[in-house]
Structure 1
Amino acid sequence: MASATCQCGKVAIQFTSSKPRVSTECCCDSCFNRVGFLADRRRRGSSSPEDTSNSGKPIVNMKWDNRVTIVRGRDQLFAYKLTPETKVFNIATKCCHSFLFGRNDTYDAHCLTTNEADLVWGDQYQRIQPSSRWFVNQWTDARRATLEPLMGIWVDSEGNLDGEKGWEAVFENHLAAMNAPILKDAVGETFDEILQSLGRIEIVSELDK
């Protein structure tokens, strides 16, 4: 089973498999904002780990079974969301402000999402190559030109999915992987169970009011 720690090592988690169901790159503002919020807090600390949020590259998001074991450091966890309206909930660490995982009930099916760069991965972790690059239309032409080729998928101005030629097949594989059932004997807690145990959820847009 894959395991990982936060950047400082105080929090350790374990997944139900050695590799994620799906790996994608994301260029959307929301993904960058949710790790950017943590990076801002990280910079305020006197002994912060290296900032992993501003590499200039897309964020690598990985979808895992919605079951995870908190091996240590539960007391270091906190929950947050960017705005009151967003359906994306996130869990991170207080100790070094590493992003642990997030979830959106609308589209994450049987999965939760991790950000590869924010965690320190154990030996049993098996990386899989990202299969698509999401919301690349939010980047400028100059910024996109710096990226290696990868199937682009995005949402158009009318709210419909669109993408480069052949995106439909890639997306269908993505959906099939995310909708596959979790084994009945899978150990660990669901994202919602962990979220409920934490109680308070910070709303980033309201913190400075």
Structure 2
Amino acid sequence: MKLSKFIRVSTIFMICMVLLSNIIGATMPEKIKIITEKEAINTVQYDGNNISVHRLRIEGSNNVTYCLEINRHYPSGHSFTMSTDMNEKLNNILAAGYPNKSARELNLDNDNQAYFATQIAIWSLFQGYDVNAIKSQNTKILEAIKKIYTGGVAAKYNSIFQSRIYKTSDESVQDVVVISYDDLTIEEQVESMESEYPPQEG
């Protein structure tokens, strides 16, 4: 029985390592095309202004994408090229936010709320917003924004997902950051693998 348990634990460990290496080593495309969803996910208030977030989508990809410059336009079918720019503070915010942290870990109801809170935290970083002055009727979202921002500033987390900044030739459009992300979380993939390799008796 002990040997069977050891084999099972070893198998799960190896599966996790393979999945991690696949995610971290995933190749990011040089060029992408991004569209913006028409409906805003949610809105908060800051300094008397409404700040709304629309979700970005990459054509033919499930990678998660965020805008970086709130004072520029959202992309609408623009083509983007991978940049060599790196931003450690941004990477720390991404590590504290979605999808590195699930909606449940952020105490939110769904992925859209987690995406929204992460986008506001990113803009707060670049614009210098005081996250404690952001207002919303949804207290859970407010707390998530603060958690992501403060956790990122403190560099509390490491991201298992690869991310890259992309730029478009249209200077009126925001730069974006793209996070390489599969449909399934690692936990879900491990559970799927476990169902295929059940523990052996003996």
Relative to total residues, which structure has the larger strand share, 1 or 2?
1
> Which protein is bigger by CA-based radius of gyration?
2
Give the TM-score category using the shorter length.
Answer: under 0.3
Superposition TM-score, scaled by structure 1 size: 0.26
Superposition TM-score, scaled by structure 2 size: 0.26
